[in-house]
Amino acid sequence: MTINKLILGDNLDILRQIEDNSVDLIYLDPPFFSNRNYEIIWGDEGEIRSFKDRWAGGIEHYIAWLKERVHEMYRVLKPTGTLFLHCDWHANAYIRVEILDKIFGLNNFINEFIWKRSSNRSSISKAARKNYDTIFFYAKSKKYTYNQLFMELSAASKELYKNKDKHGFYQTVPLLVSGKRQGETGKIWKNIDPNKQGQEGMHWVTTPAKLNEYEKQGLIYFPKNGKTPRLKYYLEQSPGVPLCEVWDDIQLVQGKERIGYPTQKPEALLKRIIEMASNEGDLVLDPFVGGGTTIAVTDQLKRSWIGIDQSVQAVKVSELRLQKQQDLFSVPFTVQLYKYDYDTLRYKNAFEFESWIVQQFGGTCNIQQRSDGGLDGKMPDNTPIQVKRSDNIGRNVIDNFKSAAERNDKKLFEKKRKESKPVGYIIAFSFGKGAVEEAARLKIKENIIIKLVTVDEIVPIAKKPTITIDVSEKSRGENGLWDLELTASGQSDAGIEFYSWDCSYDLKKGFKPSLIMDKEGRHRYQFKAGLHHIAVKVVDNDGLENIEVIKLQVNGKIKKTLL
């Protein structure tokens, strides 16, 4: 079973389905209480609904909205678990006092980190500038997971390492420390008796044997003025300074990491939090996953994860981001949307489909794949279920099922018949006229009810979008590159959300987008002469997607063929 999951939905509903005490670390970056339109990031139905939800009232309403969610987060955290809540000046005071202290208890406040977002000078006067975010750190109990991290040394501290030898830059630290000792570390070395040093006497930091070893390796510094030797301490050896509360060493998202939406958090920030408060194999949850920064980093750090967002776009961008970074050895993940794509279900592995749909219907599936007498599962009262992963089911299926159900449990079959209740269920994508007529005949003539259930009565199904690509030449650069404009055009009843491009598509590696989110369906890219494979995905409002791959021969002329 895959643990790694991306889930579309209101996090309150999804959190309620997660077991108590099951999560190691929660990071949440909820929409801030800023009452600005830039709080709308994705602009799709899910997000707008959530935006209206939060803005139905003032700050009290916002706090109540967040509080009931944090309550659930507290419940799902393990006793060793921790929560990091990312917010800013708009509501941080209210969040701490009204939510976190109340739910976690004052004693379980661990720290408040200040992320100074950038050191850029701003034209806003110092008094009005609010160039920082707050990250509250709470634990569920005193026995929480915590790993000491270190920050890079400041430039001033680095300057202390001003000496250099073949091993690198170093500073020197004392070999003698205060306090008399009788054992090895109190012995005379290089004619220096440590017990006679200083007012109270001193001792070596290690044994004379070890000091000789250090000397051989050139790790001891002998001052020219004949003073006590000192130990060389190299810049490389220094782990840095223990992590402090103010983080001014993490820049806003830049370069290749940028996906193109305003509230994206830097991976370095999440790396710090995840490494600080979890270990490999732990489960990390982000209930406001946005563009998937938390889960992307969690996956890189070999932890398991669950990401939730109410926006289809956020979930799909996160999915593509994960796909881009994963390789053959990565742990697979699942994506749960509101609707299921007909083609994916219809052509899924038969047994996988049978067991999944039987469960969705409220039954349990037969464990043995063969010799199941045509019965694939049963309802809690043992009424049999058969699954046909096809369309247009014929009359003979009904008759065969009737015999199988009767053979399976004759007593139950007769009981159900007497009670005028279904003797069994057949699940299929659609039923032909013959099957419907036969089921009706059995009911009328023999009082045998076989209920025909279509898959879309159990789970919502939609057709995935369709897509076409066009290519036009914009210019041929001096450096021999062809500047081409690729235009994708998608159609879906649900409406198109965005497109995603992979301009050096490799079937073996899968879709690795060079541009994750393109709202327009237009991508300009420079190609060298030669053969290129280009893939574009279209994502619709239900989160369903389709892919088109073309072969593009660029050489004097441009020739496009479908793959």
Ligand X SMILES: C[S@@+](CC[C@H](N)C(=O)[O-])C[C@H]1O[C@@H](n2cnc3c(N)ncnc32)[C@H](O)[C@@H]1O
CB of 28 vs ligand X, minimal distance in Å: 8
Residue 114's φ and ψ, nearest 5 degrees, are: -110, 120
Q: Which is nearer to ligand X, 47 or 548 (CB)?
A: 47
Residue number, 314 or 486, with CB nearest to ligand X: 314
- DSSP code, position 99: I
The length of the chain, given as a count of residues: 563
Question: CA-CA distance, 287 to 273, in Å (whole number)?
Answer: 16
What are the start-end ranges of the H helices in 107-207? 155-159
Q: Is 115 in the site for ligand X (CB under 6 A)?
A: no
From residue 396, alpha-carbon distances to 371, 447, 541 in Å are 19, 18, 39
Q: How far is the CB of 285 from ligand X (least distance, A)?
A: 12
Site string for ligand X, 256-285 (x = CB under 6 A): -------xxx--------------------
CB of 73 to ligand X, least distance (A): 12
At closest approach, how far in Å is the CB of 546 from ligand X? 24
| Interaction of residue 92 with ligand X, rule CB under 6 A | no
For residue 254, the minimal CB distance to ligand X (Å) is 14
Q: Which of 513, 555, 501 is nearest to 531 (CA)?
A: 555
CA atoms in the 13 A half-sphere facing the CB of 221: 18
Q: Which is nearer to ligand X, 194 or 266 (CB)?
A: 266
CB 27 to ligand X: min, Å: 8
Min dist CB 290 to ligand X, Å, is 2
Determine if 29 is a binding residue for ligand X (CB under 6 A): yes
DSSP line for 277-308: H--TT-EEEESS-TTTHHHHHHHHTT-EEEEE
Of 23, 26, 47, 513, the residue at the interface with ligand X (CB under 6 A) is: 47
Of 54 and 181, the one with the shorter C-beta distance to ligand X is 54
The residue behind tokens 């732990």 is 282
Residue whose CB is less far from ligand X, 41 or 494: 41
> Among residues 68, 38, 70, 69, which one has the least CA distance to residue 51?
38
Smallest distance from ligand X to CB 10, Å: 4
- Closer residue to ligand X, CB minimum distance, 8 or 486: 8
Residue 51 half-sphere exposure toward CB, CA atoms < 13 A: 16
- Tell me which of 81, 194, 290, 521 binds ligand X, using CB under 6 A: 290
Distance, in Å, from the CA atom of 25 to the CA atom of 146, rounded to the nearest integer, reads 11
With respect to ligand X, which residue has the nearer C-beta, 41 or 83? Answer: 41
Q: Which of residues 440-459 bind ligand X (CB under 6 A)?
A: none
Written as six digits, the tokens of 17 are 């389905």
What's the closest the beta carbon of residue 50 comes to ligand X, in angstroms?
Answer: 3
CA 220 to chain centre: 49
Please give the biggest Cα pair distance in the chain.
Answer: 115
Report the chain's terminal Cα–Cα distance, integer Å. 33
Tokens, residue 485: 């404009």
Judge contact between 11 and 69, C-beta under 8 A: yes
Site for ligand X in 304-333 (CB under 6 A): 308-311, 314
Interior angle at CA 243, CA 242 and CA 249, nearest 5:
120
Q: Which is nearer to ligand X, 145 or 263 (CB)?
A: 263
Q: Do 84 and 273 contact (CB within 8 A), yes or no?
A: yes
Nearest to ligand X of 108, 264 (CB atom):
264
Nearer to ligand X among residue 283 and residue 516 (C-beta): 516
Kindly state the number of chain residues that form the binding site for ligand X, as judged by CB under 6 A: 20
> How far apart are CB 85 and ligand X at their closest, in Å?
12
**Cβ-closest residue to ligand X?**
290
11 binds ligand X (CB under 6 A): yes
Q: Which of 33, 136, 161, 288 binds ligand X (CB under 6 A)?
A: 288
Contact (CB, 8 A) for 499 and 487: no
Q: At what angle do helices 267-277 and 293-300 cross, to 10 degrees?
A: 60
* Position 543 contacts ligand X (CB under 6 A): no
Of the ranges 174-182, 209-217, 237-245, 302-310, which one interacts with ligand X (CB under 6 A)? Answer: 302-310
Q: Which is nearer to ligand X, 25 or 231 (CB)?
A: 25
Contacts of 448 by beta carbon, 8 Å cutoff, 6+ apart: 402, 417, 423, 442
Q: Which of 260/362 has CB closer to ligand X?
A: 260
Give the nearest distance from C-beta 68 to ligand X in angstroms: 10
Residues contributing to the site for ligand X (CB under 6 A): 10-11, 29, 31, 41-42, 47, 50, 263-265, 288, 290-291, 293, 308-311, 314
